[in-house]
Amino acid sequence: MAVKKLKPTSPGQRFRSAPTFEEVTASKPERSLLEPIKKTGGRNSQGRRTMRHIGGGHKRMYRVIDFKRNRLNDAATVVSIEYDPNRSARIALVQYEDGEKRYIISPNGLKVDQVVVSGTSVAPEVGNALPLGAMPIGTIVHNIELTPGKGAQLARSAGTYAQLVAREGKYAVLKMPSGEMRMILSTCMATVGVVSNSSHMNVSIGKAGRKRWLGRRPRVRGVAMNPVDHPMGGGEGRASGGQPRSRNGQFAKGKKTRNRKKHSEKLIISRRKK
């Protein structure tokens, strides 16, 4: 999971870096777990553009990921570690004893032929999934559920993890990747370990064309626009644009936008670090 620096054979290569893919063991995905993805170009069902800077990009197939890990006490063997174009983390293809195959998010240290299990009484080892109430305090986890049975929603991207720091009644207290401390029901499932490909954050795109391969169109800065187009536009010379804000006037860099009446407000013990 290292990042390689390329020789500057062209201006685009000069500052480019790329992952080494040394942990990937298979070049083709499992066909039974593929689904087509239809590109939207940032448009809704009426054909109106609702998201900017989206369009183009390489064709992809979606890999169906098992975020629920709901085959309890059934051992699964890791068949391969694979690249997934739809996410920053690597994925692992696992096969159960009855022949069923599933994809899971691959944690750091997961190897081919390793056995992973999910259940309430399994060992808290890397790749195993169990309820937060069955884990020892201090365990590093990822793929965390917010609602029991719904599937993992937290700590799913490359290099992320949370730490179980305490228990209070029917809740477990987790320190989130953002630094926020929050309570989650102890019956929610989580997977032990850190999400793979932690060097993803060190990759440099290198050139505009590579950004287009990812399906991201050019983005114009607000300060480079006219006042009619953006609140930060206009001014003589290279004016900074005043208070940073979005295209529709919402203040950025410090303004709190979370609804204080949100039902999960009482579950947050301390906010994320600024």
Do 184 and 229 fall within a single domain? Answer: no
Per the domain annotation, does 271 fall within a domain? no
The number of domains in the chain is 2
Per the domain annotation, does 155 fall within a domain? yes
Neighbours of 23 (CB within 10 A): 20
Do 72 and 108 fall within a single domain? Answer: yes
Please give the backbone phi and psi of residue 93, each rounded to the nearest 5 degrees, phi first. -90, 120
Of 37, 24, 36, nearest to 83 by C-alpha is 24
Per the domain annotation, does 131 fall within a domain? yes
Residue 247 sits in a domain of what CATH number?
Answer: 4.10.950.10
**pLDDT on residue 1:** 66
Q: Is the dihedral of CA 134, 137, 139, 145 positive or negative?
A: positive
**What is residue 131's three-state secondary structure?**
strand
- How remote is the C-alpha of 63 from its chain's centroid? 14
pLDDT tens sequence for the chain (274 residues): 689 999 999 999 999 999 999 999 999 999 999 999 999 999 999 999 999 999 999 999 999 999 999 999 999 999 999 999 999 999 999 999 999 999 999 999 999 999 999 999 999 999 999 999 999 999 999 999 999 999 999 999 999 999 999 999 999 999 999 999 999 999 999 999 999 999 999 999 999 999 999 999 999 999 999 999 999 999 998 888 888 999 999 998 888 888 999 999 999 999 887 6
Domain encompassing residue 85: 3-201
Do 229 and 193 fall within a single domain? Answer: no
Cβ contacts of residue 55 below 8 Å, gap of 6+?
39, 41, 42, 215, 217
